[in-house]
Homo-oligomer: A and B are copies of this chain.
Amino acid sequence: MDGPVVPLVEYEVANDEVRAVYDDIMQTRGTDWVNNFWKVLAHDPALLKRTWQSVREVMAPGALDPLVKEMIYVAVSATNGCTYCTYSHTASARAKGMSDAQLMEVMAVVGMANETNRLANGLRPPVDEAFLPA
């Protein structure tokens, strides 16, 4: 760990615009703390607010349940090799009920997809007619 690129904006020193977002994060999640990701974004309050509102909307229950969404987040983060996101979203998925067996299956699919993506990239089979949208 080599430290954040910009200092963490703690609640105590945050301006009202930032505090309003922090308050909404804590209330939405039912927690009394805000994780470091938001504390670096807070250097640009508009970015903080926009990103939080998008995350809140995107991760809410919809056509997919929140746990499935969180596992997709984990899958993308592992594919991209994002350290912070892997720890934070794996923790979030567990908090939503993901078992170790489910985590291992997510990883198995992620590994397999990354493998076959490259086999297709390198050998370049034409897309089958049957797979094309009507």
Tell me the interface secondary structure of chain A in the complex.
helix
B residues less than 8 Å from A44 (CB atoms): 101, 104-105, 107-108
Q: Nearest Cβ distance between residue A14 and chain B, in whole angstroms?
A: 15
Produce 1/0 per residue, A72-91, CB < 8 A to B.
11111111111111111111
| CB contact under 8 A between A43 and B104, given known A79-B79, A118-B111 | yes
Interface residues on A, range: 35 or more
Chain B residues with CB below 8 A from A91, complex form: 130-131
Question: Other than the known A6-B133, A63-B102, A86-B122, what 13 A-B pairs have Cβ atoms closer than 8 Å?
Answer: A2-B87, A2-B124, A39-B125, A55-B116, A58-B108, A58-B109, A64-B105, A68-B68, A72-B113, A76-B110, A82-B118, A84-B124, A90-B131
